């Protein structure tokens, strides 16, 4: 049986079942990826606004913590120190990325 549907992110997915015994299965796939230039918004969110229901709902996939986004206690403590000036969310995010790059490089 084969089925095709569009998933949560709009990707076309095809599934299939194979009910006969087999020693080997070869799947050949192709993909077309379309990218767009970074969207520039005139709206500048302040850090406090990241906690509002409107923003949390709109960006839920990006704001949710996962096992791959866990931050160690030591790093959290260092980030809590008032070393970085707090600006709008985008500027603060760039500052944090630069801070991380300085420590990883």
**What total of structural domains would you count in the chain?**
1
Residues constituting the chain:
105
Task: Report the alpha-carbon angle 6-60-57, nearest 5.
Answer: 100
Q: Strand 12-16 vs strand 2-6: parallel, antiparallel, or unpaired?
A: antiparallel
Q: 66 lies in which domain range?
A: 47-104
Find tokens 């194979």 and name the residue. Answer: 18
Is-above-0.75 flag for pTM?
no
Render pLDDT for 62-105 as a digit per residue (tens, 0 to 9): 777 777 777 788 877 877 776 656 677 888 888 878 888 888 76
Residue 23, both tokens: 């020693």
With beta carbons less than 8 A apart as the criterion, state whether 62 and 75 touch. no
Instruction: Tell whether 41 is covered by a domain.
Output: no
- Where are the strands (E) in the chain, listed by range? 2-6, 12-16
Instruction: Tell whether 83 is covered by a domain.
Output: yes
């Amino acid at each position: 049986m084969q089925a095709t549907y569009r998933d949560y992110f709009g990707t076309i997915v095809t599934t299939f079942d194979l009910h006969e015994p087999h020693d080997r299965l070869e799947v050949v796939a192709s993909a077309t990826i379309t990218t767009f230039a970074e969207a520039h918004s005139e709206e500048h969110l302040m850090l406090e606004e990241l906690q509002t229901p409107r923003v949390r709902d709109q960006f839920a996939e990006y704001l949710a913590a996962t096992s791959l986004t866990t931050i160690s206690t030591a790093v959290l403590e260092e980030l809590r120190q008032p070393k970085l000036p707090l600006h709008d969310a985008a500027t603060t995010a760039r500052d944090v990325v630069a801070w991380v790059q300085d420590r990883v490089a």
